[in-house]
A and B are shown apart, each in its own frame.
Chain A
Amino acid sequence: SQTIHQWPATLVQPVGSPLSLECTVEGTSNPNLYWYRQAAGRGLQLLFYSVGIGQISSEVPQNLSASRPQDRQFILSSKKLLLSDSGFYLCAWHRDSITEAFFGQGTRLTVV
């Protein structure tokens, strides 16, 4: 069966510090991978998606970036965090764009 791992679970970072969140998927090959952000009491905002190694599409302009160095690894980064980057970050994978998404445990990021 497929599993998705995301870490860390919680993170408190000062404004202006860098960020690196990692997500890995097991039990499947060539997954579509996604990063979402969920602000408190809000829906899921799609940040990035990737259909393959080195292929990244950005949905919204921001100071975040994503990379996919390996087939089952997806990384979310920032060089300098802003207060507005606080939120719940979720990694997800789909087999394809019309099938169900499966989520990692999420990372609660608080920028102070």
Chain B
Amino acid sequence: QKEVEQNSGPLSVPEGAIASLNCTYSDRGSQSFFWYRQYSGKSPELIMSIYSNGDKEDGRFTAQLNKASQYVSLLIRDSQPSDSATYLCAADTGRRALTFGSGTRLQVQP
């Protein structure tokens, strides 16, 4: 079983809609969770971090963490074509480095 799992997509949403990206993790001891955005050919860029159960909002982005169910989600409100990218979920899994999911490709249709 992969430690951090994401649906590879593509997830296609119309411009202005809410995009919902999901991630599950297997290590119940994980404390830190991150969402990265990666444009094609570019390196990942951190957009959100979350450490406690519940919601964390930053502009159009909301991260949600449910430790009991072992999932993390990212909501993007008012999606724009510029949000089209691959979104990587990462978690600490007791190792020396974060463990990354394989990413979900988001396409926002104008």
Contact = CB atoms under 8 A, between A and B. Distances in A.
Given A90-B43, A103-B43, A97 B102 contact: no
A112 B4 CA distance: 33
A101 B43 contact: no
Nearest to A106: B43
Main secondary structure of the interface of A (DSSP, over half): strand
Contacts, number: 50
Interface in A39-68: 42-44, 46, 49, 51, 57
A94 B46 CA distance: 12
Contacts of B41: 108
B32 interface: yes
B100 interface: yes
A98 interface: yes
Contacts of B103: 43
Contact of B96 (A32, A102, A103, A104): A32
Contacts of A13: none
Contact of A44 (B34, B45, B88): B88
Contacts of B97: 32, 34, 46, 49, 94, 97, 101
A43 B88 contact: yes
Interface residues of A, number: 22
Contacts of B90: 101
Interface of A: 32, 34, 42-44, 46, 49, 51, 57, 90, 94, 97-106, 108
Interface of B: 31-32, 34, 41-46, 49, 88, 90, 92, 95-98, 100-103
16 contacts: A43-B100, A43-B101, A44-B44, A44-B88, A49-B96, A49-B97, A90-B43, A99-B32, A100-B32, A100-B34, A100-B49, A100-B98, A101-B34, A103-B43, A103-B45, A108-B41
